[in-house]
Amino acid sequence: MEGWTKDRMFWRFSAYGFLKNLRLFEPFLLLFFREQGMSFFQIGVLYAVREITTNLLDVPTGILADTVGRRITMVLSMVVYIVSFAVFTFMTGFWPFAVAMFLYGLGDALRSGTHKALIMAHLRRRGWSHLKVEYYGGTRAWSQRGSAINVLLAAALVFFTETYRWIFAVSAIPYLINLVNLATYPRELDEVVRGRRRGLSLLSFIREGRYLRVLFNSSLFMGMFRGTKDYLQPVLKSLALSLPILLYMSGDRRTAILIGAVYALIYLTTSFASENAHRIKGMFKGREAVAINFTYALGSGFVILAGLFHHVSLVWLSVVMFVGLYVVQNVRRPITLSYIAGTVPDDELATALSVESSVRTLYAALLAPLLGLLADALGVGLGLATVGALTLSLLLFVRLRD
| Tens-digit pLDDT profile for residues 130-184 | 777 788 778 878 887 888 899 889 999 999 988 888 999 999 999 999 999 999 9
Residue 388 scores a pLDDT above 90: yes
Tell me the average pLDDT across 35-63.
89
Query: Using CA atoms, how far apart are residues 61 and 58, in angstroms rounded to an integer?
Result: 5
Least confident of 96-100, 118-122, 132-136, 171-175: 132-136
Q: Is 114 exposed, middle or buried (0-12, 13-18, 19+ CB in 10 A)?
A: buried
* Residue 295 near residue 326 (C-beta atoms within 8 A): no
Q: pLDDT tens across 339-353, in order? A: 887 777 766 676 677
Lowest mean pLDDT among 100-104, 113-117, 244-248, 378-382: 244-248
Percent of the chain with pLDDT over 70: 89
The phi, psi pair for 346, rounded to 5°, reads -55, -40
At 285, the pLDDT band (50, 70, 90 cuts) reads low
Q: What's the pLDDT score for residue 197? A: 40
Give 17-47 pLDDT, tens digit per residue: 999 999 999 999 999 999 999 999 999 999 9
pLDDT confidence of residue 277: 64
How far is 151 from 157, CA to CA, in rounded Å?
Answer: 10
CATH fold for domain 8-186+199-398: Growth Hormone; Chain: A; (1.20.1250)
Mean pLDDT over the full length of the chain: 86
For helices 209-228 and 288-311, give the axis angle rounded to 10 degrees: 30
202 pLDDT exceeds 90?
A: no
More confident of the two residues 399 and 205 = 399
Closest among 181, 208, 149, 205 to 348, alpha carbons compared: 205
**Whole-prediction pTM value?**
0.81
